[in-house]
A and B are shown apart, each in its own frame.
Chain A
Amino acid sequence: MYENIARNRTKTALIITGFIIFITAVGFAVGYYIDWRYGVNNAYSILIMVFALILAIIMSFASYYYSDRIVLSLTRATPLSREQDPRVYYAVEGLSIAAGIPMPKIYVIEDKGMNAFATGRNPQKGVVVFTKGLIDKLNDEELKGVISHELSHIKNYDILLGTIVVVMVGMISIISNIMLRSMIFGGSGRRRTSRSSGGGILTLILLVGGMLLILLAPVIATVIRLAISRNREYLADSTGALVSRYPAGLANALRKISENSEVKTANSATAHLFIANPIGKKSRVMFKSLFNTHPPTEERIRRLENMSLGVGTK
């Protein structure tokens, strides 16, 4: 348990460091190219690199402190009060006592698909999110199984790593998108009228930076896959079962969830947070190789059913 927390903290520090180095390196590469193109000595490479470094540090701080809010608004989750759903509220309250963590906030996503995830940077700031479909379709024991699974993610600090990854990946893809879009749309429009002027340095920065990021996207995806091992899902399943003392609850829940786990507001950046793959079957084909962060449901159910509860049933 404690080794896991330490491992997650180390990985988070590594990912943030990697992110800062990566953005700075891209900045330097872009500047280096401009230096070479215009024949100036190191003027742009250093300038853009420093700018990129500062930007990356600010973004890292922002993602550490605000990533949970970003993720919640990305998935369009809204808070759920005790009055709205006492059943979910009391189940989360009780199970967080059993797991020995402060009670997390509860959010809900208005979606028919059945899914759930947890976020926050530490157990004190934990948030659990369920879809409406999950709350409606699962019975008490199954719901408790899912809640225990999410609480285990909070307890293991999986949420810190997972949430930071979302924001970092998201930012890289947003930056590359902005760069390429401004190049394709803004750039092509201008090119017709002012081609002779060479497009300017800004266009060049956008173009080279965007291209670099796009080219490096598979590398980033690989890094994420290495960081977020599928083992953490198995681990959260088993620690969750120890909290709820009823592995069959989660096993049955997973069986039900696998019928329809699609969440419309989820995307490839947030997919790994969820208890089951939230990407619809159609678009899954595209992302399968890149973001295969969920172990097969059948295997998870099999392991849960093999769990004997001889330990700690006192």
Chain B
Amino acid sequence: MLIGVIVLLIVIGALVVILLLTAIGIYNSMVSLRNKVDNSWHQIDVQLRKRYDLIPNLVETVKGYAKHERETLQSVINARKQGIDAKSIKEQAEAENMITGTLKSLFAVSERYPDLKADQQFSKLMEQLNGIESNIAFARQFYNDMVMKFNTRIQTFPGNIFARMFKFNAKDYFEIEEVSAREPVKVKF
């Protein structure tokens, strides 16, 4: 009888230990995934900041040739400010969509000024901007991959139980509305 109780206690003890170890493992993997998501967000942030730094130069250059386009220039500046002030990822994504949109109309406007298009400073800034924008797209891709991994981890069983226990919340994707914002895929034969 006594032996039976001891065996039962050992079995229960072993089960508790196994459960605890599993819980620790799952918790740690969630924390490391969340850190990866945060880190990949930082990669996007670096690229966004590069674009914020570039925009004032671009606006100044355009101003020198196209004084009458105050409205377009102001909308670019406003969008940039909105991007810098953004608090959440959703806000940030909206602001970035706006920046991309206003920059596009700025280029449309610049088409009307041949002198501006011939300006070396302008074409250099354009080249840099193109590089930054494609890097933003790549960083966004990596970030969204990480978010998908993290969200899958905390939404599937048994992760969802622990996620609720330790308050892991699903992360937002960084979404860009316009399809054209992503570099089009060219097929060449």
Question: A interface vs B, CB < 8 Å?
Answer: 90, 93-95, 97-100, 139-141, 245-246, 248, 252, 312, 314
- Chain A residue with Cβ nearest B39: A100
Question: Which residues of chain A have C-beta atoms less than 8 A from B186's C-beta?
Answer: 140-141
- Smallest beta-carbon distance A11→chain B, Å: 24
> With A97-B43, A97-B47, A312-B145 given, can you name 8 additional A-B contacts, CB distance below 8 Å?
A90-B134, A94-B134, A97-B135, A139-B188, A248-B187, A312-B148, A314-B148, A314-B173
Separation of A245 and B43 alpha carbons in the complex (Å):
19
- Smallest beta-carbon distance B181→chain A, Å: 13
Best-surrounded residue of B135, B144, B173 (most CB of chain A within 10 A): B135
- Chain B residue with Cβ nearest A99: B142
- Smallest beta-carbon distance B182→chain A, Å: 9
Count how many pairs of residues, one from A and one from B, have CB atoms less than 8 Å apart in the complex.
44
Question: Which residues of chain B have C-beta atoms less than 8 A from A100's C-beta?
Answer: 40, 43, 142, 145-146
Do A141 and B144 touch (CB < 8 A)?
Answer: no
Do A95 and B138 touch (CB < 8 A)?
Answer: yes
Q: Judge whether B13 is part of the interface by a CB distance below 8 angstroms.
A: no
Do B142 and A98 touch (CB < 8 A)?
Answer: yes
Do B141 and A245 touch (CB < 8 A)?
Answer: yes
Which of A90, A98, A139, A246 interacts with B185 by CB under 8 Å? A246
How many residues of B are counted as interface, with CB atoms below 8 angstroms from the partner's CB atoms? 21
Best-surrounded residue of A94, A97, A141 (most CB of chain B within 10 A): A97
Question: Which residues of chain A have C-beta atoms less than 8 A from B43's C-beta?
Answer: 97, 100
Question: Which residues of chain B have C-beta atoms less than 8 A from A94's C-beta?
Answer: 131, 134-135, 137-138
Question: B interface vs A, CB < 8 Å?
Answer: 40, 43, 47, 131, 134-135, 137-139, 141-142, 144-146, 148, 173, 175, 185-188
Separation of A312 and B148 alpha carbons in the complex (Å):
8
- Smallest beta-carbon distance B123→chain A, Å: 14
Question: Which residues of chain A have C-beta atoms less than 8 A from B141's C-beta?
Answer: 98, 245
- Chain B residue with Cβ nearest A141: B186
- Chain B residue with Cβ nearest A101: B142
- Chain B residue with Cβ nearest A93: B135
Question: Which residues of chain B have C-beta atoms less than 8 A from A141's C-beta?
Answer: 185-188
Separation of A246 and B175 alpha carbons in the complex (Å):
20
- Smallest beta-carbon distance A102→chain B, Å: 11
Which of B142, B148, B173 interacts with A97 by CB under 8 Å? B142
- Chain B residue with Cβ nearest A311: B148
Do B131 and A90 touch (CB < 8 A)?
Answer: yes
- Smallest beta-carbon distance A244→chain B, Å: 10
Separation of A245 and B145 alpha carbons in the complex (Å):
12
Question: Which residues of chain B have C-beta atoms less than 8 A from A139's C-beta?
Answer: 188
